[in-house]
Structure 1
Amino acid sequence: MELNVSINLFFINFGVHLFLTANFSDIARQPIAGYFNWIEDTIASKYLMCPKSCKQTITKGQSFAGRNVVNCCVKYARPYWIIEKLLGILHLKSTKENNFVIVSNSTNGTLFYKILYQQGHLEVVPSSLCNIKGIVDINFSKNQVENITHIECLHMLDTLNLSFNRIAVLGNTTFNRLEYLRVLDLSYNKIQYIEPNTFNYRPGSLMKISLHHNFLKCIDLTNLFLDYSFDFIQLSNNCISEFTNELNFKFNLSKSGGNINLNSNQISEIPNFSKLGFTRENIFSAFFKFPINLDDNHLNCDCKLEPFIVHFKLGSKNFEVKRNLACEHPPFLRGRRIFNISADLFICNISMKDKCPFNCSCFKQPSRSRVVINCSMRGKYKLPTVLPEQDGLDINLSHNSITVFANRTYLYRTSSIDLSYNRIKRVDPLIYGILKISNINLKHNAISQINKNVQLFKNKRTVQFGNITITCSCEMKWIQIWLENQNRRRRGNNFITCRFPDKDVEAISVSKFCAEEKPKSTVQYALFIFMIIVFISLFLYLTWKYEIYLLSRNFKSRYFGRFNNKTSQQPNKFGVYLSFNTENNNIMKWVTTVVVYNLERNGFKVCLPPRDFIPGGVQVEQIFTEVANSNSYLVILSDDYLKSQFNVIEWNQIWAHFKSNSPRRIVVVNYDILDSSHIKDRRLKAFVRVGQTFDFCNFDNKLLEDLEIRLRTMNQ
């Protein structure tokens, strides 16, 4: 089909060409009331005008969760020809020869044009449009276009509306020459496939993409998580159930963000972002910078969804998206909003095919980092031979008829096992040496002997024997020390009676019963006292130097600090630096949802590394910089705190700045309530020994208040 242009348009085109050539460079110099010329590195168009209110309502430097000037402008910026009403309308009219003629009642000297032809029989974009300069808007909605062609010449095109047509496929070269294209409406078509990186081209200006009411079943993530800031990608009312990364694209979300609408699709599960090219930092950043609407999908609220609930909640608060996401499966959660469901209910059932024992119930529970095996009251006579091939097994075999607690390979993947109310007489001694098992319940059994390997269960690890009587000798003095250690953790778990040939004695008093009566000579006493003095001296020198340092520093700060703190303390970027094991999901949830929220609500400037570090940056350099830029440090001490080399570097830097700058302070929260004997790092051990820590349990429920008081005192 040919486009016949009337002769009067020739002069208009000539004038437009001259104007575009001569005057575009001066647009930024022509002020428009209430707007400023918006120039952004990732946006090709230099002629977008953004309301000045975007600068006035956004706090300077506030980029957390995408609330900044860029994200305001991608939503409200418009080309200056729209604001100045310089847009003329040109209509297409079909002729008897099935050609199209441009019809215009009056151009009024307009230099920018909108081509309008709706509810017609247009099958292709007319190639002769290339002969007309100044086309910035095309509306060919409600036609019969099947392929998008002949548009690469429309270099000034800002808006393209091809909704209600018959387009089925989009190629990644379709729009890549349209650097000024800002608005693309392809809704109500028949699109079934979009090639990767179709919208991710640069230079470009694409910020508003409408693809709702099509036939998409799969979407590539390169067409969702774009490498630049945009307003929205509208994909509602499709059939999307799968996400891909066909090009194995490595995402960098440090300077991008935008709204993604996926409501009313067929999404049942959150995709495995790690397999789709996302790092842990990318995932965390994505939920803050790309608010995703998943309403009206058939969500399966199982264990695969649980790790993302915290991110969903944080993202929903920062972007004010709808919070009515509801579950479709499993049946007992159907219709319930995911934000109101306890994390413990997000589970995945495990079948016999995956080695769940016959007549038992098994499920994975990420919120507690465990896999539950419930075989209670199932008539078992021996331990199962195999269990699911996963870590963190929590096994319940109580109320059965098991007689031997035998060693099994799955016990090396077990964290807790309940064998109470059985008939167990013997325990394999090797079981006590399995370090991953933190709790064994053997109450109400027939145990009459305890192997000395049980001493390996100490500190946080517990064995519950209940009320039993065992055969003892004076060589078993170790049982008293072991019981004292166990009772410090959980009183009432073990009431053990030692049966001697002539008397029954409480095991906790074995040493007293077996005390030697032989008198010691004066020389022996003197030698003993001398050795004790030497030992104590060496002990103080080798193990208490950090304790002495902390106590002396605390004394100086309390009685002399007021004379020099004001002169030595310099203002820093952050008031508090948070140091913890980011791989520990329980701590991560508590810190991000409770600690940071309370501290920032009370006026503290908090450095949260997963949030405030630049994704893709050199982590060690950022640790050095931000630790130095913080007034005080809040350390969340757990048994896995120093297992990461980054945590080791971070702690060493914190200690170095703490020692070199007397006004700085370290506040330690003993999250796992560790004994000092269970802490390898001597500096952290010293904090616990001198009582300069806060226990996470904090029975008076004033942990957050105490932390605020301590930190505020340090920052004054």
Structure 2
Amino acid sequence: MRIVVRRAPTLVRSLLAFQFFLTSSGSSTCNDTVAIPWHPSWFQSRDDLYCKNICLGRGDYEQCCVCNSCTSWEGEEIDLFIEELSVTGPNVVLPHHSVNDSNVYQIYRGYSEMKELPINICNNITDTKLEKLYSAFADISYFRERIVRINLEFNEIKILDDISCLRRLDELNLQYNRLTFLSNTSLTNLTFLRTIQLKGNKLIGIEPNTLSSPDLYIFNADISKNELETQDVTNMYTAYTFCEINFASNAIKEFVNEGNFILNTSKKYGPGFLNLQNNAIEKFPDLKTLLNLNDLNEMGKAWKFGFDFQGVPVICDCSLEPFMSLAEDIIESIWIGYFEVKCAAPENLKNQLIPKIDPSMFVCEYNAESDCQTPQCTCVDEPNKNTLFIDCSNANLTKFPTIPLSAYSTRISLNLSSNSIKNIPNKPFLSKISHLDLSNNDILEISEDTARKLENATLIDLTNNTRLLKLPQMFQYRNACSTVLGNIVVDCDCESLWISEWIKSKGCTTSQFYCNIPEQGIVPAGAFHENDLDCVQESFLYIWISIVLGSILLIFLVFGWLLRQFRYELLIVYLRMRRTFRKDNLVYPNFKFDVYISLDENNDQVRDWVNRHLEKYLTYSGYNVFLPYRDIPYGSVRDTEIINVLKDTRTLLVVLSNTYFGTIDDERLFTECEWKYGWTNFRKERQRNIVLINFDHISSREIKHAQIKAFLRVGCCIDFGNHDRNIMENIRSKLDTRRRKRRAGQNYYRTFSQSRECTKSALSYNDIEMNSS
């Protein structure tokens, strides 16, 4: 059998492939001759799985193996005995032999009257009498890691306790018991669980994410013949490829998303098969809302599932149309035969096969009073046309009706003809209107904002609204042929000159209306011309006003651009002026340090000049200097130390080199931190200072850092050049000398400044390099 699919949507191609391998699977047994070892791509840690040979050579090999897998130990399980302590009392598991790591074990007691799981499956016996009686047998902790199967079918168990200790459990069979609720913690950590059978219980609720936990790799889950009325979307799939999740023969009416699950379109869910036969689902679920999608097509990118709705009384209305349109290209290939699904309603589609129905027939007729909101109106939602049709003609309305919301259509066709409506409300729903019929009403005015919201309307009919005397100027951007204004007379003045060109632009006859021109009377709108009015003076004044306003606006724009472009330069000039004109009678705080030297510590030439010349000069000049790589205590957090020291430092002295903001991450972070906090202090406090030494003769064009670029532009820096020999004097002049400490050692400073070392310190970078060599 071969199925060829052309131009099929992603979702549908996956469903076809999955339908094919489900219907063609064989019934081979699992042994060395008919199966080979198999490691699922998402479950590499498991090494005991085999795949039957019927899957070899298939394009859907991994999917086929999920439905045709078996284990290397299948048929070799050793029974663990169950002791019934009383007719209605608890049970315990009593092994009759010692544990063997090479064996696997199972717990089986079917067709009995067990009321609960054995009490020692995952817990030790706490009853003193029972502990003494069964102390030699009741400890099964050594077996828990080797129990692979539990079969307690046809009993009377009401609660599924936490069995997460059974990490190697492969199959859990509790069909035909009395379970009423399934908690999402019951199966936690059961990563080896392939099959869970809960058929024929009394389940009325399953917590969200019970089957879809990322730690679960369930291949088959049978929850058929229970009493579920709602189902959470998170229990309709597993996080990986699965074979079948069976919810057949429940009482499911709707699907919910209580955990607010959001379909991740970059992730793949499935593929797998979801059986929903013989449930009470009438409304096909709104998958877009249910899965929190922006577009239903996103579902096809991620959700690779097949669905079986046989025996479901589906109402073929607008809720079904989006899903059917998604698979429109090959819908017959999916539904015919394998999915014999027929409509249960409405009457005109009853018992018709869904694939045979034209999608345009899937419509919803809203209830007039509840869904349509206004009893006098009829509302029909046609998703195939993406339009909600609302007809309120001849309904004796004096105002706009309440507009209902549609979950399937984004456009509104609104017929309000032959009523007594005076105003159009400025409401958001106007932007959704594609067709608005207001003919034969009493509209008085249409505001510019209202006309702007109606820009998506392909047709607006205002025929016979004789009280409408002015058109909104926004109409000039509409197609005149789609704006019907028959039998109305509007006042045409100098502000209405656009009307004549608007009418002539398309040559439409549908918009024949009239202009009432001062001193001339009523003429066809197409005959209206500016020569009919004395608008020259107004136009001239309007032009000059426009020029003046435009010039003012241009000035503001240029000023704003300059202000933004040179904001740091202006700020630096202002801060310098604030320092220059400060009041002498102000009391300034005493700082612990006068100067903090910030430099690229990995630049050998910069560090050598700072160590040999700059630091010594400043120290002997009476300044208390902080040098970070020398003075920060070993083992301390450097960022914290930088912040604390700069809080108590008057001047940040930056030795700017090409590598100041270099590519070495740690050093770049330190210099950035030093600059950041130094700049913050300088900006906020007038007693703070920043001095910049341009060590490598960097131009402002080479700097990307906005604040340092500003310093270079306004000339607030010291060039490290050999044009003069007083660089140290320049540095000292830039520092705040008002509170500089005076030392007795200043005599040494004068000797120092006259020495060869001082002369050498004033040399350029090239001089230093030459002297060093």
Normalising TM by the smaller chain, what interval? Answer: 0.5 to 0.7
The question of 1:268 aligning with 2:282 is answered yes
Deviation (angstroms), 1:326: 4.1
1:139 Cα deviation (Å)?
Answer: 3.7
In structure 1, the partner of 2:438 is 419
How far apart, CA to CA, are the structure 2 residues paired with 1:351 and 1:97?
A: 64
Q: Does residue 408 of structure 1 match 2:441? A: no
- Post-superposition shift, 1:190? 1.4
- Return the letter of the residue paired with 1:416: H
Deviates more, 1:183-192 or 1:343-352: 343-352
Q: Specify whether residues 286 and 147 from structure 1 end up closer, same or farther in structure 2 by C-alpha distance, changes over 3 A only.
A: farther
Q: How does 1:494-533 map to 2 (within 5 A)?
A: 494-495=511-512
Q: In the aligned structure 1, how far is the partner of 2:373 from the partner of 2:114?
A: 62
Structure 2 SS opposite 1:71:
helix
**CA 1:456/1:346 → structure 2, altered by over 3 Å: closer, same or farther?**
same
Contact preservation (8 Å) 2:364, 2:381 = yes
Residue 379 of structure 2: which of 343, 359, 362 is its match? 362
State the shift of 1:216 in Å: 1.8
Residues 390-431 of structure 1: CA deviation (Å, up to 9, x unaligned): 584422233x365x76433458454422234x3769665756
Look up the SS of the partner of 1:38 in the other structure.
Answer: coil
**Is the CA contact (8 Å cut-off) linking 1:45 and 1:205 kept in structure 2?**
no
Any conservation in 1 of the 2:476–2:498 contact (CA below 8 Å)? no
User: What is the distance in 2 between the residues matched to 1:239 and 1:37?
Assistant: 38
What's the RMSD between the two structures over aligned residues? Answer: 5.0
Q: Deviations over 1:337-359 (max 9, x none)?
A: 55424346422515445674442
Look up the equivalent residue of 1:292 and give its one-letter code: F
Task: After superposition, give the CA deviation of every residue in 1:100-143 in whole Å (9 maximum; x if it has no partner).
Answer: 99999xxxxx9566665443334444556957696544443223
Matched with 1:256 is 269
Q: 2:166, 2:371 → 1: CA distance?
A: 59
Distance 1:270 1:401 in 2: 37
Aligned counterparts of 2:268 and 2:236: Cα–Cα separation in 1: 15
Task: Point out where structure 1 has 5 or more consecutive residues left out of the alignment.
Answer: 1-29, 59-67, 105-109, 516-716
- The letter for the 2-side match of 1:200 is S
Q: Give the AA of the match of 1:165.
A: N
CA distance in 2, matches of 1:447, 1:362: 29
Q: Which runs of 5+ in 2 are unaligned?
A: 1-30, 97-101, 122-137, 534-773
Q: Which protein has the larger Cα radius of gyration, Structure 1 or Structure 2?
A: 2
Contact between 1:229 and 1:255, CA under 8 Å: does it hold in 2? no
Q: What is residue 695 of structure 1 aligned with on the other side? A: none
Q: 1:193 is matched with which residue: 188, 205, 209?
A: 205
Change (3 A) 1:324 1:450: farther
2:90 aligned with 1:71, yes or no?
A: no
Aligned to 1:221: 233
Contact 2:497–2:530 (CA under 8 A) maintained in structure 1: no
Distance 1:447 1:336, change over 3 A: farther
> Could you tell me how far apart the structure 2 residues matched to 1:432 and 1:179 are?
61
CA distance in 1, matches of 2:335, 2:481: 44
> CA separation in 2, counterparts of 1:435 and 1:296?
46
1:435 to 454, 464, 468: 454
Q: Any residues of structure 2 matched to 1:108-123 within 5 Å, and which?
A: 117-123=109-115
TM-superposed CA distance for 1:47, in Å, is 1.6
Gap change, CA 1:513 and 1:238, over 3 Å in 2:
same
> Aligned residue for 1:12?
none
Question: Given the superposition, is the C-alpha separation of residues 196 and 434 from structure 1 closer, same or farther in structure 2, using an over 3 Å criterion?
Answer: closer
Q: Is 1:290 aligned with 2:305?
A: yes
In 2 relative to 1, CA 507–250 (structure 1 residues): closer, same or farther, beyond 3 Å?
Answer: closer
Cα gap change, 1:351/1:250 in structure 2, threshold over 3 Å: closer, same or farther?
A: same
Q: How does 1:172-211 map to 2 (within 5 A)?
A: 172-211=184-223
User: Are residues 1:397 and 2:412 paired?
Assistant: no
Determine if the alignment matches structure 1 residue 39 to structure 2 residue 40: yes
Which position in structure 1 is the counterpart of 2:604? Answer: none
One-letter amino acid matched to 1:263: Q
Aligned equivalents of 2:359, 2:220: Cα separation in 1: 36
Contact 1:42 1:202 in 2 (8 A): no
How do residues 303-702 of structure 1 correspond to structure 2 at under 5 angstroms? 303-311=318-326, 322-330=338-346, 333-339=349-355, 340-343=357-360, 345-347=362-364, 349=366, 351-352=368-369, 356-378=373-395, 380=396, 383-388=398-403, 392-398=411-417, 400=418, 402=420, 406-410=423-427, 412-413=430-431, 414-420=433-439, 422=440, 428=446, 432=451, 434-436=453-455, 437-443=457-463, 451=471, 453=473, 455-459=475-479, 462-465=482-485, 478-487=498-507, 493-495=510-512
TM-score, with length taken from structure 1:
0.52
Q: 1:337 to 1:464 in 2, by over 3 A?
A: farther
Q: Distance in 2 between matches of 1:371 and 1:467?
A: 29
- Residues 1:225 and 1:281: Cα distance change in structure 2 (over 3 Å): farther
Distance in 1, matches of 2:301 and 2:307, equals 9
Query: In the alignment, which residue of structure 1 is the partner of 2:724?
Result: none
Structure 1 counterpart SS, 2:413: strand
Q: Which residue of 1 aligns with 2:551?
A: none
SS of corresponding position for 2:243 = strand
- Which amino acid is the alignment partner of residue 485 of structure 1? S
> CA offset at residue 213 of structure 1?
0.3
- Per-residue CA deviations over 1:43-65 (Å, capped at 9, x if unaligned) read 6532212245545221xxxxxxx
CA distance in 2, matches of 1:365, 1:281: 18
Identity %: 25
How far has the Cα of 1:364 moved from its partner? 4.1
